[in-house]
Chains A and B, each alone.
Chain A
Amino acid sequence: MSHDLTSDVSAALDRVLARFAGMVRAIGARHRLSASDLDEVLQEMRIRLWRARPTSEQIDALPTSYIYRTAFAAAIDILRAQRRGHAMDAVALDSADALEVESTADAGRDVEQQEALDRILKAVGSLPDSRRAVVRMYLSGYDRGEIAGLLHWSEGKTRNLLYRGLAELRERLGRDMVRS
């Protein structure tokens, strides 16, 4: 009997988590949402949902808002743990190796290309405070609607700051090119 109940609970959790994961992946796909990060959140959610609602009927009846609040809290806790503990050290070690590989690759990379990339970082970094974050977010691949939604700005304000910021960035890059 307990084996059947566990199978039912597991199946219910699978259903709930599959729906949730599908939705998040669809939204995060454009911005390269990390699959491994999401998988870690799913694992943690499975545990938390099962502890809170130990039967399949209770799991199937969970409100959507509860599921997403659980996911958000799980994600924050995972990120805290990554920053704080052993997982962070492992990531830092991997990152350091990766950075070392990149640094070595830098030596072989086209110098001109590297200078071009450095120029764009410097030019963006020199933009006025009011426009810099918005331009960075746009250059990172987010559209105006996503920027306005995140900052709770009107479409007009977002458009204005973004267009002026991009115009200024192009002007600065043009000046830098002339100098170099």
Chain B
Amino acid sequence: MTDSDLQRDYQRAVELRVSDERMRCPTPEAIEVLVVGSGSEAVRLTTLDHVMACAQCRREFELLRAIRAAGSPRRAISPRWYALAAVVLLAVALTLVNVNRNAPTMRGPGVSGDMPVTISPIGEVDVSTARRLIWRAFPNAAQYRVELVDPAGGMRASVSTVDTSWSLPQSVSIQSGETLQWTVEAILPDARRLASGVTEFRVR
């Protein structure tokens, strides 16, 4: 199942779930704590877990979240953001035109069960293999976003590319004995993103 399939089914399941458990819902104050980010993380995660499984609570959460996000100076949507978004959309559109000129006939989007597939490196590999990331072309992908991270989640390197392989720049260090993880995300023309699972490899 693609991420979109999972999201669609999950949201439908939550909406349809019969619940008489409003008494067990977190209070508006607890949802406020979640939105504001105060208090202990454990408590906020518990609240979040319920909110995202309860259609009514989620509605209340979104009201508070949207108000707070709109009022945050860092997140306020300014006209400049719209201008930047327009530039990005134009760049993606131009990339798509370029890709379609050269690409072979591809399957249409939305094929159930498809997600980007990583090819190499996987498992135990030597350094030279580890430095060249290769993945299968995904139908209709406008470009790919590739991320290389260490197991703690620290970003080692990332790139946006229209190719289906990426050789790590010399500035990116990879050592023998290291274990690293990588993912590739296909970005479709309609801006949907489909991510591969996490692929792990160990450098001999």
A residues bordering B, Cβ < 8 Å? 20, 23-28, 31-34, 37-38, 41, 64-65, 67-69, 71-72, 75-76, 79-80, 83, 92, 95, 99, 102-103, 106, 116-118, 120-121, 124-125, 129, 132-133, 136-141, 149-152, 154-161, 163-164, 166-167, 169-170, 173
Contact = CB atoms under 8 A, between A and B. Distances in A.
23 contacts: A24-B67, A26-B70, A26-B77, A27-B77, A37-B59, A71-B67, A72-B67, A75-B63, A102-B16, A103-B18, A117-B16, A124-B53, A129-B49, A132-B49, A133-B49, A136-B48, A138-B7, A139-B52, A141-B11, A156-B155, A158-B153, A163-B197, A164-B198
B68 interface: yes
Interface of B: 1, 3, 6-7, 9-14, 16-19, 22, 27-29, 31-32, 34-35, 37, 41, 44-46, 48-49, 52-53, 56, 58-60, 62-71, 75-77, 147, 149, 151-155, 183, 195, 197-198
Contacts of B11: 139-141
Q: Which label, helix, strand, loop or mixed, suits the secondary structure of the B interface?
A: helix
B115 to A, nearest CB: 9
B198 A41 contact: no
Q: Which label, helix, strand, loop or mixed, suits the secondary structure of the A interface?
A: helix
Contact of B3 (A38, A41, A160, A166): A166
Given A136-B52, A169-B6, A72 B13 contact: no
Contacts of A120: 6, 9-10, 13
Nearest to B49: A133
A112 to B, nearest CB: 12
A38 B75 CA distance: 19
A4 B38 CA distance: 45
Contact of A92 (B22, B45, B75, B153): B22
B26 to A, nearest CB: 10
